[in-house]
């Protein structure tokens, strides 16, 4: 089972940049999207169906043109769950989950901390999300949470760790939270297979950052420990350029 995750920074903009042709070529079984910035009725769903994704599920923010997540699948899930039992997860369209026979896949778009108000909201979301997932794992032990976590975990995950230590996305408190989250019976699947530095999933549009590889690894496919023996590959698809992010992927038996 090939699972990809991609913050598309606007699905309509990504489609204009060749997203559908790329999707056909990449050929995942399931793809989790974040920051779709669209309502379902604003999309031509036939594009996804023709690409092989008859089963496509969209969960938009209440605010138009903002946030939103989706899951596209080649096979029909047993169940789709929109949002979660805390406010920000639903009003801002930040969580959607697809349950299959032997694994559940969640698309997550964790808030960014662009200013003090948003940073406070980000920390609140993080605390509530941790509680939610801790309970969810009791019922769903085989869970993969794919998405834009808006946090770099370790110094290896960011191009300038010393210079950016006081910047949201690499704050000590954010990194500590992600550390605790992963240590709560999760696996950073990418680091199981890739130990090298300079491997990122997001680059600023400024200062030619992508060409100079001045990046951040903000996107993860975190799998629960019971899935450990089923992991086959994990990777970053840095050559996909429909967004300021690129896709990340994991493959399981």
148 in catalytic set: yes
**Secondary structure, 3-state, the chain:** CEEEEEECCCHHHHHHCCHHHHHHHHCCCEEEEECCCCCHHHCCCHHHHHCCCCEEEEECCCCCCCCCEEEEECCCCCEEEECCCCHHHHHCCCEEEEECCCCEEEEEECCCCCCHHHHHHHHHHHHHHHHHHHHHHHHCCCEEEEEECCCCCCHHHECCCCCCCCCCCCCHHHHHHHHHHHHCCEEEHHHHHCCCCCCCCEECCCCCCCCCCCEECCEEEEEEHHHHHHEEEEEECCCCCCCCECCEEEEEC
Catalytic residue among 29, 99, 148, 176: 148
Active-site positions read 148
């Amino acid at each position: 089972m090939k699972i990809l995750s991609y913050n598309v920074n606007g699905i309509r903009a990504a489609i204009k940049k060749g997203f559908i042709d790329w999707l056909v070529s990449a050929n995942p079984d399931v793809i989790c999207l974040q920051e779709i910035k669209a309502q379902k009725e604003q999309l031509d769903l036939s594009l996804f169906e023709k690409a092989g994704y008859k089963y496509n599920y969209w969960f938009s923010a209440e605010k138009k043109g903002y946030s939103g997540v989706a899951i596209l699948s080649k096979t029909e899930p047993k169940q789709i769950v929109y949002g979660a039992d805390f406010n920000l997860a639903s009003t801002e369209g930040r969580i959607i989950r697809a349950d299959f026979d032997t694994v559940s896949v969640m698309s997550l778009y964790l808030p960014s901390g662009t200013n003090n108000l948003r940073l406070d909201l980000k920390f609140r979301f993080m605390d509530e999300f941790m509680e939610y997932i801790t309970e969810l794992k009791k019922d769903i032990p085989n869970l993969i949470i794919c998405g834009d976590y808006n946090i770099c975990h370790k110094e290896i995950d960011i191009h300038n760790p010393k210079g950016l230590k006081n910047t949201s996305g690499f704050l000590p408190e954010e990194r500590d939270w992600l550390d605790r989250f992963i240590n709560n019976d999760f696996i950073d699947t990418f680091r199981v297979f890739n130990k090298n530095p300079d491997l990122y999933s997001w680059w600023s549009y400024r200062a030619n950052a992508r060409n100079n590889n001045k990046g951040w690894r903000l996107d993860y496919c975190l799998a629960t420990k019971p899935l450990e023996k089923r992991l086959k590959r994990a990777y970053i698809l840095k050559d996909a350029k429909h967004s300021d992010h690129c896709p990340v992927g994991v493959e399981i038996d």
